[in-house]
Amino acid sequence: MTAPPVNPFMPPTAAAAAAAVEAKKVDYLNLPQPVRYEELQREVMMSLKPDLFEGLRFDLTKPLNHNFALSHSIFMGNIDVPTANNQAVKMPIGTYEFGANLVTNRGNLMLGRITSDGRLTGRVKYDVADFAALKSQFQVASEKGMSQAMFDVDLKGADWNGQLKWGTSNFYGANYFQSVTPQLSLGGEVFYLAEQRRSGIGLAARHAGDKHVATAQVANTGLVSLTYIQKISEKVSLASDFMWNLNSREANASFGYDYVLRQCRLRGRIDTDGKIAAFLEERLNVGVNFVLSAEVDHPRKDAKFGFGLTVGE
């Protein structure tokens, strides 16, 4: 957009004010493309939902060339067993996971994982055109009812994106997200679960500024979700979220921080359920990270601590 010609007879201050007003005008025919609907809360999730674990974890990724890499993961620790009285019951477990990653120069990818307990998971993404991509995710498990799959068709335009979904158990869904201003995006989703004869609809809004991101979601299932993240500096971000279930009249909220230093990254969270968590990633060398995970659940009188090593990018 070209600026209008400046009137030479206009006072300098008035000319500057006119130029500022013209610069603030929004070109609604040239809006940016928003994030995908399923990535609506990605910044908050990075701060408030770290990959907490209890026990020992070792991850190794070995690239064979620029497009193909193998991965090995070992975990020895405890997992929580659900109980009727919400007491802390743990079961020791040890698993080994082997993975293969194929990523082409065009961005297409195939990821696969198989564990020692017989669970196979995979993910495939293929760009059909500049505006369309096919994706699939699946899991095959020996336990009955644990195998599932999901197939997506991703569509995108200059200032919007959408998605069509089909999954096992006759799941059908669709979502759409549209930029309405350079900072604000609006959209919604619908789904239908044929086997349970359940359907739902949701609406969402996302406002992304230079140093903050705020989101809001509401669904006819009775869930209301609000998130906010503020970038305090280049190294520090603060985040919070609020979830309210209108049907059960229950609500919970959490507050967290994300502190990035030169050699480490520290994330922490505290919520209204009485849980306090922290997650530290320390860079020991190029491609070698040391990981510490800790969580204290005061109402259940439970504590979790884990440490691990990640080798490879």
CA pair distance 54, 292, nearest whole angstrom: 10
Task: Look at residue 85 in the predicted model and tell me its pLDDT.
Answer: 73
Distance CA 228, CA 170 (A): 34
Residue 62 has a pLDDT of: 94
Residues forming beta bridges with residue 271, ordered by sequence position: 254
Among residues 126, 154, 152, 123, which one has the least CA distance to residue 140? Answer: 123
- Which class does domain 31-312 fall in? mainly beta
Tell me what pLDDT residue 266 has: 96
Looking at residue 90, its pLDDT comes to 85
Any residues with CB less than 8 A from the CB of 131 and at least 6 apart, and which?
155, 156, 157
User: What is residue 10's predicted lDDT score, i.e. its pLDDT?
Assistant: 55
Prediction pTM value: 0.85
pLDDT at site 20: 56
pLDDT of residue 8: 53
**For residue 24, what is the enclosing H or E element?**
helix 12-24
Q: Average pLDDT by consecutive 10-residue portion of the chain (313 residues)?
A: 53 59 71 93 90 94 94 93 76 94 93 93 95 95 84 95 93 96 96 90 96 95 95 95 92 95 94 94 94 93 94 85
Domain spans, the chain: 31-312
Query: How long is the chain?
Result: 313
**Residues 113, 98: contact at Cβ < 8 Å?**
yes
Residue 214 is predicted with a pLDDT of 97
